[in-house]
Structure 1
C-alpha cells in the first residue's frame, strides 16, 4: 500500500470520526436541553395543577364564585399574553442561534439589546390598554375590574422575561430558561396560597379580595422569574463576553432589520401555538349548541360535560403535553444552526433525534396516564365516573397534540413557517367539518375525537414534507418506535391490572388512598418501561451508551 493510499484512508477515517463526534455532540446538546426544559415545564405544570386542592378548600362555599372570577380574569389576560409574548422566546432563540453559528455573536447581542427595549415598550402599552379597558370589558361586573388590573401589571415584565429566555435558548443554554420557569410558578403559587389563607382564614376577609391577590400573584412570579434570569446572565457574563470578543464582526445588520426579523419570525410561532387554542374555541362554541339540539340534556348537564373534557381533563394532560413543548423549544435552535451551516445531513439527523426522543417519552407518558386515570382524577377532583373515562381518552389525545407541537416546531426550525401554518390550518378545517357529526355520535368524546383526527391530518402532512425535503432515513426510527410501543403497552397492561386490583382493597374515593395507588402504580410502570428499554438496549439509541450504562448501574439491569 503506497503512502498516498494510506493518507487517503487516514483522512477518510478522520472525517468519519469528526462527523460521528458532531452527531453525538448535537444529540448531547438536545438531550441536555430537553432534560432541563422538560424538568422545568413538568414541575411547573404539576405545581399549577396541585395548588387548586388547598385553594378550593380555603374558599369553601365561595369557591365556584371565586373560580369564575379567577378564570374570567385569566381568559382575558391570556389573550394579551399571547399577543405580547407568544413566539418571542423561540423566535429570538432561533435568530440568536443563527447568528452564533456564523460566529457573529455581536449581532446576536445587538438583537437582544434592541429587542429588549422594544418588548418593554410593548409590554407597557399592553398593560396600559388592559388597565384602561377593564371597566369596558367587565360586562357590568365591577368585581372583575381589580382582577383585570392586577393582571395588567404582569404585562410590564412578561415580555422582557420571555425575550431573555429566548436569548439563553439561542446559546442552547436551557438551564436558565427551565429554572426561571419553575421559580416563576413556585413564587406565584406560594404568594397565591399564602395570601388566600391569610385573607380568608386569618383576616376573615372577602373572597373577592382574595381572588385579586391570587391573580396579582402572577406579577410576583414574573418578578421572581426575571431575577433568576438576571442572576444567570451575570453568572454567564464572562463566557458570553468571551464569545463576543471572538466574534467575526463582519456582518452589519441595521437595528430596524433586526426588529423586523424578530416580528417576522415570531408570527408563525404565535399562529402555531394558538392552534390548540383555536381547537378549544371550536369546542367551546359548538359543543353546547350541538348537544342541546340533538339531546334532551339540560344546559346545566351539558356545561358539566363540557367542563369534564375542556377543564378537568385538559389541565392534567397538559402536564404530559408540556414535555413535547419543551422538546420543541430545544430542537429549534439546533435546527437553525444546522440550516445556517448548510449541512442537510445534520438537519435530517436532528429531525430523527427529536422525533425519537418524543416517542420515547410521550408513548409511555400518554398510555401511563390513561392507565392511572381513575386514581389521578380522584386525587384532583371529586369522583365522577364519566370524568375518569374522559381523562383516559384525553390522555391518548395528548400524544397527537404533542406530536403536532414537535413537528410544527421542526418546520419552523428549518424556516418552513408558511408550510407549518398551512398544515395547521388544514387540520383546523378538518376538525370543523367533522365536529358536529362526531359530537352527535360520541357525545362528550366527540370533540376529543375530532381533535385527534384534525391533528392527525396535520401531523401526516408535516412529516411527509420533512421526509421528502430531507430524505429522512426512517427505518431505524420505525424499528425503535415499534419497540417503544410494545414496551409501553406491556407497561400499560401491568399498571392497569395493578390499579384495578388495588382499587378493590382500598377506598379509591379517598384522595389520600388514591395518592397511594397512584404512587405505587406509576412507580412500577416507570420501572417496567425503564427495565425493558435498558435490557433491550433501546435506550442506548436515544440517550447514548454512557448515560444508559449509568442508568443500568443505578437500576441494576445487566
Structure 2
C-alpha cells in the first residue's frame, strides 16, 4: 500500500516536472523566437525606406529568394534537428545517454553532406528556380552559402533541445538575427545611399546576410556546448551501456525519422512556394494586370503581411520545439495519460497566446502596417485578413509537431497531402474571386481541414477531455474579443486626433493601443485565475504586484 502511494507521488512529481519543463522551455523558445522575429521585422522599417520607389519590388524579390531558400534548407537539414531532438529525448528517457551522443555524431555527418549537396544545387541550379525572373538568380546563389553551414548549426540546436536545454537555442536565434540584421542594413545603406547602386545588388547582399547570421549562432552554440560538456560526459558515464547500436543503424534511424520531418516541417514553406509559382500565372488569367501590379500584390501578402504575422506564428513554433522531446519521452515510457495531458496543455497554451496575439495584430493592423511600410489601404486589408489566417498556420505548426512527437509521421503526411490537394483545387477559384487575398483564403481553408483531421486523430487515440478544455478555451476567446474591442475603440479615438497615415504619428498611436490591449487581456486572465491554471502558481506573484484580487 505504502509502495503504491510512493509510486503515485513519484509519478505525479514526474508529470509536474514535465509540465514545468514545457512551460520553462516554451518561455525560453518563445523569448528567443519572438525577439529574433521582432528583429527580423523591425529591420524592414529602414530597409524599405532606403529602397524608396523600389521597395515593393525589393520585397517581392526577397520573398521569392527566401521561399526557395527556406524549403531547400528544410531539405538540407533533412528534418534532422527535430528528428535528433526527438531521438535524443527518447534515448535519454531510457537512460542511454551514450547512444544519444553517438546519434549526434552520426547525424552531423549526414547533415554536413546534405548541406554541401543542397548548396551546390542552389549555386548551379538557380536558373531553373527563377520563375522567369533573372533577378532571382543572384539572390538564390547568395543564400547557398547559408545552406552550406546551417545544417551543422541546426543539428546542434536539436541535440541540446533533446536534453530540454532550450536557452542555448533561444540565445543562438537572437544572436543569429542580430548578426544578420546588422550586415544587411549596413550593406543596403552602403549600396543604396552611398554608392547609389542597383537595388537587386542590395537585395542580394541582404539575403547573403543569412550566412553571417549563421556564423554568429554557431559561436553561441559552441560556447553552450563547452559549458554543458562536463554534465553530458557525466550522464554518459552513468548511463546504461548499449554497444549493440551501430553507427549505420543510427544513421538509418535518423534518415527514417527525418524524411517525414522534411515534408511536415516544410508544410508552410511548400504552401508559400505554391503561391510563388502559381499566383503570377493565375492573376494573368483572371484580369489584365501588368507585371508590376502582380509583383506589388504578391509582395503585399508574401512579404509585407508575412513578416508581421510570422511574429505571431513564431509563438507557436517556440511551443512546437518544446513539446516534441517531452512527448517523445512520454511515448518511450508508454505513458498514455502523460501524453494526453501534454497534448491538452499545449493546445490550451497555444490558444492562450495565439488567439489574443492574432486578434491584437488585426486591431492595430493599420498603424503597424504604416509604421513598417508606409500607409497602403490594400496592404492593411491583407494584413487584417492574414492575422486571422495565422491562427490556422500556428495551430498546424503546433499540432504537426505533436503528431511527430508521438511518432504518427505517416498519418501526419497523409493529412498534409490532403491539405495540399485542397490548396491546389481552391487556388484558382480563390484568386479569381478574391484576387490578392485568394492565396490566403485557399491556405486558410486547407489548413483548417488539416487541423481538424489532426485534432480528431488525437481525440480518437487519447480521448481528449474537451469538456475540461471548454471553459478555459471559452474564457480565452471571450477575453481576446474584449481585448480586440477595447483596442479598436482606443485606436478609433486616437485616430480622430492624430493622423494614422504618417509613420511617426502611426507609431505614437500604436503604443497606447498595444498597452491598453495587453492590459485588458492580462487583467482578465489574472482576475479570473485563468493565467494560474495555464502558467502555474508563480503567476500569483504578478497578481500581488499589480494589486489584483
What range describes the TM-score normalised by the shorter chain of this pair?
over 0.9
Measured in 1, the distance between the counterparts of 2:106 and 2:127 equals: 34
Instruction: Tell me what 2:207 maps to.
Output: 215
Measured in 2, the distance between the counterparts of 1:423 and 1:539 equals: 33
**Contact 1:107-1:252 within 8 A present in 2 as well:** no
Instruction: Verify: 1:538 aligned to 2:511, yes or no.
Output: no
**Contact 1:93-1:333 within 8 A present in 2 as well:** yes
Of 373-382 and 275-284, deviating more is 275-284
Unaligned runs of 5+ in 1: 1-7
SS at match of 2:245: coil
SS at match of 1:250: coil
SS at match of 2:464: coil
SS at match of 2:407: coil
Instruction: Verify: 1:93 aligned to 2:85, yes or no.
Output: yes
Measured in 2, the distance between the counterparts of 1:295 and 1:214 equals: 33
- Say if 1:60 and 1:14 are closer, same or farther in 2 by CA, change over 3 A: same
Instruction: Verify: 1:427 aligned to 2:419, yes or no.
Output: yes
- Say if 1:472 and 1:102 are closer, same or farther in 2 by CA, change over 3 A: same
Instruction: Verify: 1:55 aligned to 2:41, yes or no.
Output: no
Measured in 1, the distance between the counterparts of 2:199 and 2:433 equals: 42
SS at match of 1:482: helix
Output one character per residue of 1:29-61: Cα deviation in whole Å (capped at 9) or x when no partner. Answer: 001111111111111111111212212333445
Output one character per residue of 1:119-146: Cα deviation in whole Å (capped at 9) or x when no partner. Answer: 2233223333433445776799887665
Instruction: Tell me what 1:247 maps to.
Output: 239
**Contact 2:118-2:147 within 8 A present in 1 as well:** yes
Which residue of the other structure, out of 387, 393, 403, is the alignment partner of 1:401?
A: 393
**Contact 2:78-2:111 within 8 A present in 1 as well:** no
**Contact 1:89-1:169 within 8 A present in 2 as well:** no
Which residue of the other structure, out of 478, 484, 507, is the alignment partner of 1:492?
A: 484
**Contact 2:67-2:273 within 8 A present in 1 as well:** no
Measured in 2, the distance between the counterparts of 1:292 and 1:142 equals: 19
**Contact 1:104-1:251 within 8 A present in 2 as well:** no
The alpha carbon displacement at 1:432 in A equals 2.7
**Contact 2:71-2:266 within 8 A present in 1 as well:** no
Output one character per residue of 1:364-422: Cα deviation in whole Å (capped at 9) or x when no partner. Answer: 11111111111011111222222212211111111111111111111110000001111
Output one character per residue of 1:190-220: Cα deviation in whole Å (capped at 9) or x when no partner. Answer: 1111233234444555555544433332221
**Contact 2:63-2:302 within 8 A present in 1 as well:** no
Measured in 2, the distance between the counterparts of 1:446 and 1:209 equals: 31
Instruction: Verify: 1:46 aligned to 2:28, yes or no.
Output: no
Instruction: Tell me what 1:414 maps to.
Output: 406
- Say if 1:289 and 1:43 are closer, same or farther in 2 by CA, change over 3 A: same
- Say if 1:449 and 1:54 are closer, same or farther in 2 by CA, change over 3 A: same
Instruction: Verify: 1:348 aligned to 2:346, yes or no.
Output: no
Alignment of 1:247-286 (within 5 A): 247-250=239-242, 252-286=244-278
- Say if 1:137 and 1:411 are closer, same or farther in 2 by CA, change over 3 A: closer
Instruction: Tell me what 2:222 maps to.
Output: 230
Instruction: Tell me what 2:188 maps to.
Output: 196
SS at match of 1:236: helix
SS at match of 1:472: coil
- Say if 1:235 and 1:536 are closer, same or farther in 2 by CA, change over 3 A: same
**Contact 1:400-1:456 within 8 A present in 2 as well:** yes
**Contact 2:374-2:502 within 8 A present in 1 as well:** no
Instruction: Verify: 1:182 aligned to 2:177, yes or no.
Output: no
**Contact 2:119-2:144 within 8 A present in 1 as well:** yes
Measured in 1, the distance between the counterparts of 2:501 and 2:152 equals: 45
Output one character per residue of 1:252-308: Cα deviation in whole Å (capped at 9) or x when no partner. Answer: 211111111111111111111222233334434554555544456656545433432
**Contact 1:92-1:167 within 8 A present in 2 as well:** yes
Output one character per residue of 1:503-530: Cα deviation in whole Å (capped at 9) or x when no partner. Answer: 1111111112211222211121111111
Instruction: Tell me what 2:543 maps to.
Output: 552
Count of residues in Structure 1 that have an aligned counterpart in Structure 2: 549
- Say if 1:192 and 1:322 are closer, same or farther in 2 by CA, change over 3 A: same
Instruction: Verify: 1:125 aligned to 2:117, yes or no.
Output: yes
**Contact 1:356-1:481 within 8 A present in 2 as well:** yes
Instruction: Tell me what 1:27 maps to.
Output: 19
Instruction: Verify: 1:509 aligned to 2:472, yes or no.
Output: no
**Contact 1:86-1:273 within 8 A present in 2 as well:** no
Alignment of 1:306-455 (within 5 A): 306-455=298-447
Instruction: Tell me what 2:101 maps to.
Output: 109
- Say if 1:304 and 1:132 are closer, same or farther in 2 by CA, change over 3 A: closer
Larger Rg: 1
Measured in 2, the distance between the counterparts of 1:43 and 1:467 equals: 34
- Say if 1:115 and 1:145 are closer, same or farther in 2 by CA, change over 3 A: same
Measured in 1, the distance between the counterparts of 2:114 and 2:46 equals: 36
Instruction: Verify: 1:475 aligned to 2:467, yes or no.
Output: yes
Of 381-390 and 98-107, deviating more is 381-390
Measured in 2, the distance between the counterparts of 1:466 and 1:69 equals: 40
Unaligned runs of 5+ in 2: none
The alpha carbon displacement at 1:339 in A equals 0.5
SS at match of 1:556: coil
**Contact 2:358-2:387 within 8 A present in 1 as well:** yes
Measured in 2, the distance between the counterparts of 1:371 and 1:382 equals: 17
Output one character per residue of 1:124-169: Cα deviation in whole Å (capped at 9) or x when no partner. Answer: 2333343344577679988766544433222231010011000001
**Contact 1:85-1:158 within 8 A present in 2 as well:** yes
